[in-house]
């Protein structure tokens, strides 16, 4: 199974007993835009605090994460950005603005044909891309 993983799911990699770590033990391939690494860096202090770890351990875990998740550069899926934006036409202005903030994940999903793993309910409002939340991922992985 292959999934595009959003940043909030990636953040959980740093937690003890993370579901993401358990999923990585299954035969799955995970992808995310390189932009997600920037988001991890932007939230590093918050992740370190919540995971009750040190900056050194955080940095080592970030390297480990990059060994398990394929981070894809924008140039690989840039051709799908316009189509991804068109998925948001039905949304309210507030939802549209939130949708656009995550446009890289939608575009990468369109490019690869992979579903998205996220707990953000907004992702499920569009009908073009299949979206799974963590509970659904656990169920899928338990069937492997």
Expressed as residue numbers, the domain containing 61 is 2-142
Count of domains for the chain? 1
pLDDT number for residue 50 = 93
Q: What is the mean pLDDT of each run of 10 residues along the chain (144 residues)?
A: 96 93 94 96 96 95 96 98 91 90 96 97 92 95 84
Structure tokens at 123: 């992702």
pLDDT number for residue 120 = 94
Contact assessment for residue 103 and residue 33, using Cβ atoms and an 8 Å cutoff: no
Structure tokens at 120: 């953000």
pLDDT number for residue 91 = 87
Contact assessment for residue 32 and residue 114, using Cβ atoms and an 8 Å cutoff: no
Q: How far apart are CA 7 and CA 103, in angstroms?
A: 12
- Name the H helices within the chain: 7-11, 19-23, 35-42, 44-51, 55-68, 74-77, 81-86, 93-101, 103-112, 134-142
> Which residues, in sequence order, are bridge partners of residue 132?
117
Give the chain's length. 144
What CATH number does the domain containing 110 carry?
3.40.50.1010
pLDDT number for residue 102 = 94
pLDDT number for residue 88 = 86
Q: What angle separates helix 93-101 from helix 103-112, to the nearest 10 degrees? A: 60
């Amino acid at each position: 199974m292959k999934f595009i993983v959003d940043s909030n799911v990636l953040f959980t990699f740093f937690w003890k007993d993370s579901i993401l770590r358990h999923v990585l033990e299954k035969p799955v391939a995970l992808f995310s835009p390189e932009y997600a690494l920037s988001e991890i860096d932007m939230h590093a202090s918050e992740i370190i605090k919540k995971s009750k770890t040190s900056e050194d351990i955080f940095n080592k875990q970030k390297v480990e994460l990059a060994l398990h998740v394929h981070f894809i550069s924008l140039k690989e899926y840039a051709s799908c950005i316009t189509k991804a934006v068109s998925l948001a036409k039905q949304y309210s202005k507030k939802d549209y603005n939130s949708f656009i903030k995550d446009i890289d994940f939608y575009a990468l999903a369109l490019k690869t044909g992979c579903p998205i793993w996220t707990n953000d309910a907004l992702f499920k409002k569009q009908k073009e891309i299949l979206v799974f939340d963590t509970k659904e991922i656990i169920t899928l992985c338990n069937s492997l």
